[in-house]
Structure 1
């Protein structure tokens, strides 16, 4: 069995002590595979689920040529006949009406028209619609008159199959279903879809200093916030979660928690316990029943991060497997590493086709200190000026333990591996929180 560490050494820029973020992301992508189980669910239950198969349209959408406007349908030949005293105008006799769901069944001549509403079937032989606001009707509303250049031949007609043709792929496998997708499938008459089963993710925090909500705080202890941010971030990805609580810094307790998590989940996330402190036992345990690709990244915040595999048995390859992400203990570092490393892996394992997180450019309102040789994700407040130009200001202290800075911020300021000091007014990349956090 090829070990992760052996594979990782073949990745460009591999450095076991300061792995670039891009290299870490490449390693993770190589070792994730989507869940294979598929289930059928009603359309109402498909929101945020991952499509397992392509959806092919069984019908044309729209199913018939129809009017895109409230107006009057006629034959395009009328535009060239010069059928009024003023040859620059067109005059047509109204011979009927077509409403959505109530088509006009008769025929019309070249100098005739039919009153049509938006969505109504185009009358036979009609191919052009003049909007109602562009016409003049005579006193008894039996005819209309409009400028010949007011409308082009074929205008304001929606063709059958123009949106989707029968047999065309409407949605691709790997798509995370959105509200608009549910409406689209309903328009095709589809009431059930095949989706991947939800990914199962177990998570827990480690540390003797941690207390759960409701427990009293002893001297030196703190409330565990990481499980709540992890729960919320996982909830956004629509995965099934298993919260294993707080696990003490004891080898036996950590081993039991890790083996139990591997037996019940596809992915195991921990926070804390992956640095080099005396009480950080996770590293020791994973040598026994795990396989770790890397323990550290050239990243701030989030340098101590472990990625690998663990098994529920007594050694690698024995029992049930799970991917393992050992996140740092500091609250901000947990969130940064989740979004930059873990999120994409979970989407891939869910069977989705993730898109890169959008990055836009902004001008920094102040100088930013930055060391070459690591990627930094600073918290910032971004805003647009009257000209639509983005500006960003760091949110004061960038300590990885200051969780309030994440609540105050609305973006990450992304400072690349090879970037150095940023001057005031210099352009930087930002990653907006909207729709992410």
Structure 2
């Protein structure tokens, strides 16, 4: 590895080894928990479903009461939501999807396989025990672990909690994050650009990324390029946040003050990572609050946040799953010049000649953010390696990187 460049795994391991887990929690209505992190285990208070129920509209009966060609009389009608009495021997009960199966019945025949005749029903199907019956507790058994602490709540977890009758959920408090953009050249959208000025792209990229990551942005400011302003703002941000994320100001230029302030007034434990884009990445702290210093170029901000920042945030949130898994997909691209840095290409999967393959955006410059809008994720080219068309390459969809 090139001198003074920290390998990606080593950098991530360094960050995660000291990541402070948020200890506070809050209780929220189930309707407000999407995207939040469970602060405790949830065990099943009672069997789900609470009783045997029918999986179809049809007729419930006892298999021992039926023989081929036999007509069965219908002794009961069981709509959903009613409590049926025991099934009368030698008869069938009209039953509907979700209705509780009456005591004594051990099978349900779907209505499409039944002929209704004057004296009852005639079944045109094989009759076997346990057909079309959802048994009590088949989804969740009383006392079992339904959802573990650290689980991120998606729509399906909301539904599962509801199935257990849980209306209020204890979740981890949101990680409080301060966003600080650096540079005298930065102008907020909506204002005219003067000579040498550009719009503050990174602020809005980070606002979106942090919202998707389930964080609360408590401070969002632009730092002017002076040492005193940088120090004062970092210290002020440290007082109100759990994590400070900066963009720019961590390279080797005379106006890159974030790294210098961390070295002078705080702690700098990581600087320069073997990643492309995003080499000038820094990590440290000021007044005890962690500081993640991202590069200034827009695409590099996105990549380094996803690759390094998200595992760190997940760890702080107490998440069960910290690292994305990725997919192995054939490459529809060539990389002929090995690099000492691990490259994360803005890429997407496409159906080419009947096969799903990974293609990369033609311009991988760290300043080309439009590449990320075209892309569906990141494809990885390991350091010191080349890639030829057809080689398997690791691909991370953005949805997985931000989940």
Question: Normalising by structure 1, what TM-score?
Answer: 0.87
Deviation at 1:222, TM superposition (A): 1.1
- Measure how far apart 1:90 and its partner are: 4.8
Distance in 1 separating the partners of 2:322 and 2:114: 48
Superposed CA deviations along residues 65-120 of structure 1, whole A, max 9, x for unmatched, are 111111111112235xxx4xxxx5454222111111123324321x3211111111
Q: Which among 42, 47, 63 is matched to residue 55 of structure 1?
A: 42
How does 1:257-268 map onto structure 2 within 5 Å? 257-268=233-244
* Matched position secondary structure for 2:372: helix
Alignment match, 2:102: 123
Structure 1 residues 386 and 62, CA, compared in 2 at 3 Å: closer, same or farther?
farther
Distance 1:54 1:253 in 2: 45
Sort the Cα spacing of 1:370 and 1:342 in 2 relative to 1 into closer, same or farther, 3 A: farther
Single out whichever of 19-28 and 375-384 deviates more from structure 2.
375-384
* Matches of 2:123 and 2:362, distance apart in 1: 68
Paired position in structure 1 for 2:329: 362
- What's 1:210 paired with? 186
Q: Which residue of 2 aligns with 1:400?
A: 366
Structure 1 contact 39–197 (Cα < 8 Å) conserved: yes
Q: Which runs of 5+ in 2 are unaligned?
A: none
Deviation per residue, 1:363-382 (Å, 9 max, x gap): 33232244243210011232
CA offset digits 1:312-361 (Å, max 9, x no partner): xxxxxxxxx21110000010000000000001111221222235324223
Counterpart in the other structure of 1:3: none
In 2, Cα distance between equivalents of 1:296 and 1:289: 19
Decide whether aligned partners of structure 1 residues 112 and 196 sit closer, same or farther in structure 2, where only a CA change above 3 A counts: same
Give 1:435 shift. 6.0
The answer for the alignment partner of 2:22 in structure 1 is: 35
Aligned to 1:112: 91
- Rounded to whole Å, the distance in 1 between the matches of 2:400 and 2:136 is 35
Q: Is 2:26–2:170's contact at 8 Å kept on the other side of the alignment?
A: yes
Instruction: Give how far 1:135 is off.
Output: 2.0
Q: CA deviation at 1:235?
A: 0.7
8 A Cα contact 1:94 1:114, kept in partner = yes
- Among candidates 394, 397, 403, match of residue 432 of structure 1: 397
1:350 matched to 2:317? The reply is yes
The answer on 1:337 being equivalent to 2:324 is: no
Please tell me whether residue 272 in structure 1 is matched to residue 248 in structure 2.
yes
Give the structure 1 partner of residue 344 of structure 2: 377
1:322 aligns with 2:289: yes
CA distance in 1, matches of 2:31, 2:3: 47
Matching residue of 1:145: 123
| C-alpha contact (below 8 Å) 2:63/2:127 kept by paired residues | no
Structure 1 consecutive aligned stretches of length 4 or more whose deviation exceeds 6 Å = none
Quote the Cα distance in structure 2 between the aligned partners of 1:216 and 1:133. 69
Instruction: Give, in angstroms, the shift of residue 434 of structure 1.
Output: 4.0
- Give the drift of 1:64: 0.9
Work out the CA distance in 2 between the residues paired with 1:130 and 1:427.
49
Q: Contact (CA 8 Å) 2:54, 2:97: kept in 1 or not?
A: yes
Residue 416 (structure 1) aligns with:
382
Find the partner of 2:78 among 89, 94, 98. Answer: 98
Match of 1:4 in 2: none
**Using the alignment, how far apart are the partners of 1:141 and 1:434 within structure 2?**
58
Greater displacement, 348-357 / 204-213: 348-357
Q: SS of the residue aligned with 1:163? A: coil
Contact kept, 8 Å, 1:71 with 1:132, in 2: the verdict is yes
- Given that residues 244 and 257 in structure 1 are in contact (C-alpha distance below 8 angstroms), is that contact kept between their aligned partners in structure 2? no
TM-score (norm 2): 0.94
**Alignment length, in residue pairs?**
402
In structure 2, the partner of 1:19 is 6
> C-alpha deviations, 1:206-263, integer Å up to 9, x for none?
1122222233322222111000000000010121103432111100000011101111
Q: Residue in 2 aligned with 1:65?
A: 52
Displacement of 1:430 after TM fit?
A: 1.6
Q: 1:377–1:141: structure 2 CA closer, same or farther, 3 Å change rule? A: farther
Contact 1:95–1:108, Cα closer than 8 Å, also in 2: yes
Segments of structure 1 that go 5 or more residues without pairing to the other structure are 1-12, 312-320
Q: Does the CA contact (< 8 Å) of 1:306 and 1:326 recur in 2?
A: yes
Q: CA RMSD in A?
A: 2.0
